[in-house]
Structure 1
Amino acid sequence: MPPLLEAAAILLAGVAAGGINTVVGSGTLITFPTLLAFGVPPVTANVSNNIGLAPGSVSGAIGYRRELAGQRARVLRLASASLIGGVVGAVLLLVLPADAFETVVPVLIGVGVLMVLLQPRISRAVASRRRAAAGVRPDPRWTWPATLATGVYGGYFGAAQGVILMGVLGIGIDESLQRLNAVKNVLAAIVNGVAGLVFVVVADVDWWIVLLIAVGSVVGAQLGAAFGRRLPPTALRAVIVVVGLVAMAGFLL
Structure 2
Amino acid sequence: MTPVASLPEMLAVLGAGLAAGVLTSTVGVASLVSFPILLAVGLPPVVANASNTVGLVPAGVSGSIGYRAELREHPRVAWTVVVTCAVGAVGGAALLLALPSSVFEAVVPWLILVTCLLVGVQPWVARWLRSRAGGQIGPRTRMGPVTTFFALLTGVYGGYFGAGSGVMMVAVLGLGLDIDLRVVNALKTLAIFAGNVVAGLVFVTVADLDWRAIALLAAGSVVGGYVGARVGRRLPPTLFRVLVVVAGVVAAALLLR
Task: Give TM class, smaller chain.
Answer: 0.7 to 0.9
- Note closer, same or farther for the CA distance 1:5–1:194 as it changes in structure 2 (3 Å cut): same
Which of 30, 33, 48 matches 1:30?
A: 33
Equivalences for 1:35-74 in 2 at 5 Å? 35-74=38-77
Residue equivalent to 1:185: 189
Compared CA separation, residues 26 and 239, structure 1 to 2 (3 A): closer
Aligned runs of 1:99-248 on 2, under 5 Å?
100-105=100-105, 107-108=107-108, 111-112=111-112, 114=113, 117-118=116-117, 121-122=120-121, 124-125=123-124, 128=127, 135-137=138-140, 139=142, 140-228=144-232, 229=234, 242=250, 245-246=253-254, 248=256
Indicate if the aligned counterparts of 1:30 and 1:244 stay in contact, CA closer than 8 A.
no
- Structure 1 CA distance, aligned partners of 2:156 and 2:184? 20
- Contact 2:16-2:34 at 8 Å conserved across structures: yes
CA contact (8 A) 1:18 1:220 kept: yes
CA-atom RMSD in angstroms: 2.8
Report how far residue 35 of structure 1 moved. Answer: 1.6
**What SS does the aligned partner of 2:178 have?**
coil
More helix by share: 1
Could you tell me which runs of 5 or more consecutive residues in structure 2 were left unpaired when the two chains were aligned: none
User: Aligned-pair distance for 1:236?
Assistant: 8.4
Cα deviation, 1:26-63, whole Å, max 9, x if unaligned, reads: 11111111222223211111100011111101211111
SS, match of residue 56 in structure 2: helix
The offset of 1:106, in angstroms, is 5.7
Deviations 1:123-179 (A, max 9, x none): 544675699776433532211111111100000000111111111111111211111
- Asked if 2 retains the 8 angstrom alpha-carbon contact of 1:11 and 1:212, the reply is yes
**Quick one: which amino acid aligns to residue 186 of structure 1?**
L
Please tell me the residue identity of whatever aligns with 2:178.
D
Pairing 1:77–2:76 present: no
Q: 1:227 to 1:142 in 2, by over 3 A?
A: same
SS in 2 for 1:104: coil
Shift of 1:69: 1.7
Q: TM-score, normalised by structure 2?
A: 0.83
Query: Which deviates further from its counterpart, 229-238 or 64-73?
Result: 229-238
Identity of aligned residues (%): 42
| Contact residue 18 and residue 221 of structure 1 kept, 8 A | yes
Q: Residue 79 and residue 237 in structure 1: after superposition, are their counterparts in 2 closer, same or farther (change >3 A)?
A: closer
User: Partners of 1:6 and 1:80 in 2: how far apart?
Assistant: 36
1:164 counterpart SS class: helix
Deviates more, 1:237-246 or 1:3-12: 237-246
